[in-house]
Amino acid sequence: MKYIIGIGGVTNGGKTTLTNRLIKTLPNCCVVHQDDFFRKPDQIEVGDDGFRQWDVITAMDMEAMTNTVKGWIENPVKFARSHGVPLSSAPEETNPDETTHILIVEGFLLYNYPPLLDVFDKTFYITIPYEECKRRRSTRQYTVPDPPGLFDGHVWPMYLKHRREMESCGLDIECLDGLRSKDEIYTQVYESIQNNLLNRL
């Protein structure tokens, strides 16, 4: 069985932390990080707000990302091996249809790209309030540092815009409170995934 989980949410909400923990506990689990598909800085447009448009869907090569996800769908075993992911049982010895293969797709604009929407079996979205998001963002070191005013002038307004779009995308998205402890968030997501998987067997 193939099972795809989406973990979306606000910048610095805890998506990667949650994803990294799930990878360790879910069987045959691979991951695709949306951040790996950012275009080069010189390909990022400067918007009307005066900032390079990092927080929009065109800042990423979403076609390449979608193709990566499709590559996993076509052959999760081959994908896992090529990404160095250990598999819990040798597929040759067991019926591959009985083995559960899981893919986590993680990113801040997961549910704003229509070609990806129909691949998800289970979707989550982490939110944190403005003040906390700004505080966390200010402590992060990025390869391309945030210019002054970027958070209020671009990052947060784009988050609100994309969240409204996401809420009308038609997916049944489970929202997570990013202010809860990492353990609580992980437990909620892990149990939700397990229940969802059991319902599919």
Residues in the chain: 201
* Catalytic (active site) residue 35: yes
Other CB atoms closer than 10 Å to residue 174's CB: what's the count?
A: 14
* CB-based contacts of 190, cutoff 8 Å, min separation 6: 22, 25
Strands 173-177 and 122-127: parallel
Q: In the chain, what are the helix, strand and coil shares in percent, each to the nearest 5? A: 50, 15, 35
- Cβ contact 112:169 at 8 Å: yes
Instruction: Return the amino acid letter for 128.
Output: I
- Cβ contact 108:62 at 8 Å: no
Q: Which of 35, 49, 152, 177 is an active site residue?
A: 35
Rounded CA-CA distance 43/41 in Å is: 5
Rounded CA-CA distance 52/40 in Å is: 11
Q: Which residues are catalytic?
A: 35
